[in-house]
Amino acid sequence: MTAVDSATAIRDHVVQSDKEGQKALLQNMYWYRTRWAEEEIMILEKENSDNILCADEEGLTSQHYLGHTAVANAIVALHMNPSRDRPVKVLDIGGGLGSTVRYMTSNLPYVEGISMDIFDSFARLAEEIDSKECSSYCEGSKAKYITADIFNATQASLGGPFDFAISLLCFCHMDDKRKLFERVKEILRPASPQASCDLYFEDLVLIHSNTVQKEGKSH
């Protein structure tokens, strides 16, 4: 069993206690770093490198140490269920190399995923990966990659309005959180009364604290 197989098995093990959860979090981070190097080699050595699948790039381009599991969790949390009659448009803020939107378009029909990042080199590389992967996208789904700063962009310049916004491990790098949420609100389509959530972001995870709040009491 390779280090990748071992770390993946650990990641997939369901833990219950807080102590086990903290340990699993660190192991997940180790799994992510290990797969990054080994899967990059696997992609480069594929016989037909002109056509790759979403799963082929997970360790190389994922923005999260949980890999595509983090995106799957977001899809569930957002109750994202697009169809021919109800297509959806999703903005990934700080999308890096675009793995998040490619996972969505590879697993959901009628999704338009737009990945934005402040680095143009990321968008260009994302387009290159997309050209090798787009043939495997679900019916009616497509991805786009743009260079933009969320604080300066407008709904129109980003291609909105959007039904959903997602961000994985990005918001923690931005200083003005209040302004950030105001900008996100401006680019989202007004939610219906039935909508439970149209923004999903995941950032810092508390690994340890001497003070834990529980039921209004300090322990």
Confidence of residue 54 (pLDDT cuts 50, 70, 90): confident
CA angle 138, 113, 158 (to 5 degrees): 155
Q: Which of 150-154, 164-168, 213-217 has the lowest mean pLDDT?
A: 213-217
Domain range list for the chain = 1-45, 51-202
Pick the CATH number of 51-202 from 3.40.50.720, 3.30.450.20, 2.60.120.620, 3.40.50.150: 3.40.50.150
Q: Which of 8-12, 46-50, 53-57, 58-62 has the lowest mean pLDDT?
A: 8-12
> What is the arithmetic mean of pLDDT over 42-61?
63
Q: What is the pLDDT of residue 11?
A: 43
From the number of C-beta atoms within 10 Å of its C-beta (0-12, 13-18, 19+), residue 6 rates as: middle
Pairing mode of beta strands 199-202, 164-168 = parallel
Q: pLDDT tens digits, residue range 86-116?
A: 999 999 998 888 899 999 999 999 999 999 9
pLDDT at 198 over 90: no
Confidence of residue 146 (pLDDT cuts 50, 70, 90): very high
Helix H or strand E encompassing 166: strand 164-168
Confidence of residue 121 (pLDDT cuts 50, 70, 90): confident
> What is the arithmetic mean of pLDDT over 132-142?
93
End-to-end CA distance of the chain: give it in Å, rounded: 42
Confidence of residue 64 (pLDDT cuts 50, 70, 90): low
The answer to whether 105 and 137 have CB atoms below 8 angstroms apart is yes
pLDDT at 161 over 80: yes
